[in-house]
Amino acid sequence: MQENKVALVTGGSRGIGKACAIELAKAGLDVIINYAGNDEAAQKTVEELKTCGIRAQKKKFDVSNREAVEAAIKEIVDEFKRIDVLVNNAGITRDGLFIRMNETQWLDVINTNLNSAYFVSNPVSKVMIKQRSGSIVNMASISGIYGNIGQANYSTAKAGIIGLTKALSKELASRNIRVNAIAPGFIQTDMTKDLPVDSIVEHIPLKRLGEPKDVALAVKFLAVDSNYITGQVLSVDGGLVI
């Protein structure tokens, strides 16, 4: 019997990651969601994913901890046998003006948003190379394209994610593995709940914040529907950065 395709979504218990997990489950993939803290939210998401008739599982680990990541990937491969889609989505913000940004703010964001993509993609790409197929989608941000005041740490991490996407797409293409990135604009999630919505919306040509599903549909397109797209950064931002 042909094994079902398997997706791993980091930071998949809520927000954009949860929406990605749902779209991938609707597309028929088994889905493992990784998360950092909230067991109850993760379990609820798993139950929702299972209604799509696929296998769903939650895996709690800190994406910025290399040993924890490696152990978790091993467990996933032991159980599911393969990983076809990886969405490197987990991320945090620790905003502040650069002159006041302390080392913890800097390192936490670089570790969670950028080093994590190395920690997770490294073992997963070995699995994909063995399979001779796979698709990785990295969650960047428009902040990594145009730079954002108060987000030197975050813009640096997200610009790094874009560089990783391009380099890895070239390294892995010959093994039939595609690597792309999404650059969301302002999306309504816990991450953006305290931002001044009205003044932001003024600058967005489509005159609204994005929904997690707006990003998830683009992730599903790059991860599952497309076949001949690699090394690209797709903005999902209502026209904010053109």
Which residues form the interface with ligand NAI (CB under 6 A)? 10-11, 13-17, 34-37, 62-64, 89-92, 112-113, 139, 141, 184, 186-187, 189-192
Q: Supply the minimum distance, in Å, between the C-beta of residue 68 and ligand NAI.
A: 9
Residue with tokens 């529907």: 225
User: How far apart are alpha carbons 88 and 96 in whole angstroms?
Assistant: 24
Q: Supply the minimum distance, in Å, between the C-beta of residue 54 and ligand NAI.
A: 19
Q: Supply the minimum distance, in Å, between the C-beta of residue 175 and ligand NAI.
A: 26
CA distances from 176 to 58, 117, 227 (A): 28, 20, 10
3-state class (DSSP) for residue 57:
strand
**166: its two tokens:** 């391009």
Q: Supply the minimum distance, in Å, between the C-beta of residue 117 and ligand NAI.
A: 10
Positions annotated as catalytic residues are 154
Torsions phi, psi for 146 (to 5 deg): -110, -5
